[in-house]
Amino acid sequence: MCVLGMFLLLLLTSTTKAHESEHDSSVFDVTSAEYGAKPGSDITFALAKAWNDSCASPSASKVVVPSGTYKLRGASFRGPCKAPIELQVHGTLQAPEKDSELTTNETWVGFEHVDMITVSGSGTFDGQGALPWSRNNCSKSKNCAGSVNLRFSFVTNSTIQDVSSLNSKNFHIHVFRCINVTFQHVHITAPGDSKNTNGIHIGKSTGINITHTNIGTGDDCVSIGDGSNQITVTNVTCGPGHGISIESLGRYNNEESLAGIRVKNCTLTNTQNGVRIKTWPNSPLATTASDIHFEDIIMVNVGNPIVIDQLYCPYKKCDNLPPSKVKISNVSFKNIKGSSATALALKIVCSSGSRCENVELTDIDLTYNGAKGTLTSQCLNVKPTISGLISALACATSIVMPPPLI
């Protein structure tokens, strides 16, 4: 009898635990009876309610989107929340094809003022961006229409991993005023001709880490804007796309200085550019960009593999403007190998008003087999430290221009 009693007690305990796990108060499944979401349907309200309940939970919790395809007109995941949250997406979330059908402007899925969130799962955020791509002419217009797939604003101590962003209408991932956020094993995909679809853009953020991530899109794979500090980009594959860039500094009035950028162990394939720093002429403010290091990079048929361009102006309206006031210093390009799709494989063109300082070019081995000239390089307003380069890459057209008249 004692043995039978113990067996029944164990069975009852096991059954109770299984029942409790099925109704775990820390898991908020959008397809549960509480929220009623179903594959093929619009889950905008169900997901919002699940988030609100999870955010109010006093203990760590999880919002789950199971396998399947769901319509989503928009999501605004706002904090602060009472405890850490994981948003676990296993299915595919589809945006409306038209931005006019979104619940908010310029953002499809947004995270704001949240601490310790994990976005995970094998799911996909499908922005369905073909319609705005066909209407945009970003090379001639400063404004490119389309919503951002995933926007992180004032997010801290968080991780985004294993999810995919597909065919965003505008930037895939936009990071602003965030601290200590890691993106790992993220997959970003859009056609090479999709306009303004930067993979991950970082602005005014600190301690952002992008690692073991695959990005193929129609603009920069990774773009790093002003006010960004201590940013690491490692083990990223890029292509198609425009490369990995320190992005368009010196354009706006409220810009902040940038420092501590490291790009390492990355491979770029068939991209328009490689690794680059670009600043606009006629800068409204005198800011700095310093301690920027590109190392152990493989280039495969990359146009313009190595670039510093302080005369950047894609709109062809910058003739005779004052030079850039962005001061670039302590920059290194080390162990960069592979093939260039253009004859000008290395271009370091600095501002005549604020020449680059402490630029290092080390162990750069690039080849060019095209029919438009021979492999060459260009340097302007800079005297780099050079070692381990063939003569064609050692600033073959090195020029130092006099400072402008005041």
Residue 97 maps to a domain: no
pLDDT confidence of residue 355? 94
pLDDT confidence of residue 18? 39
pLDDT confidence of residue 316? 64
Residue 356 maps to a domain: yes
Q: How far apart are CA 356 and CA 290, in angstroms?
A: 10
Q: Which residues contact 151 (CB under 8 A, 6 or more apart)?
A: 107, 109, 110, 111, 173, 174, 176
Q: How far apart are CA 124 and CA 291, in angstroms?
A: 35
pLDDT confidence of residue 396? 81
162 is catalytic: no
How would you classify residue 21: left for phi > 0, otherwise alpha for psi between -120 and 50, otherwise beta? alpha
Q: What is the pTM of this model?
A: 0.91
- Asked whether the beta carbons of 26 and 62 are under 8 A apart, the reply is yes
Q: How far apart are CA 18 and CA 212, in angstroms?
A: 37
Q: How far apart are CA 356 and CA 368, in angstroms?
A: 27
Total number of domains constituting the chain = 1
Tell me the backbone φ, ψ of residue 241, rounded to 5 degrees. 155, -175
- Asked whether the beta carbons of 279 and 326 are under 8 A apart, the reply is yes
Residue 12 maps to a domain: no
| pLDDT per residue as tens digits for the range 74-119 | 999 999 999 999 999 999 999 999 989 999 989 999 999 999 999 9
Return the number of other C-beta atoms located less than 10 Å from residue 97's C-beta: 14
CB-based burial, 170-203: b 16+ in 10 Å, e otherwise = bbbbbbbbbbbbbbeebebbbebebbbbbbbbbb
- Asked whether the beta carbons of 147 and 108 are under 8 A apart, the reply is yes
Compute the radius of gyration of the chain from its Cα atoms.
25
Q: How far apart are CA 273 and CA 309, in angstroms?
A: 12
Residue 53 maps to a domain: no
Residue 346 maps to a domain: yes
Place of tokens 């009035």: 253
242 is catalytic: yes
How long is the chain?
A: 406
Closest listed residue to residue 273, CA positions, set 217, 204, 345, 336 = 345
pLDDT confidence of residue 368? 96
Signed CA dihedral, 390, 377, 217, 236: sign only: positive
Tell me the backbone φ, ψ of residue 364, rounded to 5 degrees. -110, 125
pLDDT confidence of residue 137? 66
Q: How far apart are CA 55 and CA 160, in angstroms?
A: 18
- Position 245, amino acid: S
Helix (H) or strand (E) holding 260: strand 258-269
pLDDT tens by residue, the chain, 406 residues: 454 444 444 444 444 333 333 446 799 999 999 999 999 999 999 999 999 999 999 999 999 999 999 999 999 999 999 999 999 999 999 999 998 999 998 999 999 999 999 999 999 999 999 988 887 766 555 566 789 999 999 999 999 999 999 999 999 999 999 999 999 999 999 999 999 999 999 999 999 999 999 999 999 999 999 999 999 999 999 999 999 999 889 988 999 999 999 999 999 999 999 999 999 998 888 999 999 999 999 999 999 999 999 988 876 666 778 899 999 999 999 999 999 999 999 999 999 988 999 999 999 999 999 888 899 999 999 999 999 999 999 998 754 444 443 3
Identified catalytic residue from 126, 219, 226, 309: 219
pLDDT confidence of residue 397? 74
Closest listed residue to residue 47, CA positions, set 101, 113, 111, 114 = 111
- Asked whether the beta carbons of 71 and 112 are under 8 A apart, the reply is no
Domain of 262?
240-314+321-406
Residue 244 maps to a domain: yes
Residue 171 maps to a domain: no
Chain-centroid distance of CA 368 in Å reads 29
Identified catalytic residue from 172, 174, 201, 242: 242
Residue 217 maps to a domain: no
- Asked whether the beta carbons of 331 and 309 are under 8 A apart, the reply is no
DSSP state, 42? B
Q: Which residues contact 113 (CB under 8 A, 6 or more apart)?
A: 78, 79, 80, 153, 154, 155
| pLDDT per residue as tens digits for the range 5-40 | 444 444 444 443 333 334 467 999 999 999 999 999
Q: How many CA atoms lie within 13 A of 103 on its CB side?
A: 16
- Asked whether the beta carbons of 116 and 84 are under 8 A apart, the reply is yes
Return the number of other C-beta atoms located less than 10 Å from residue 395's C-beta: 23
pLDDT confidence of residue 35? 98
Structure tokens at 6: 């113990």
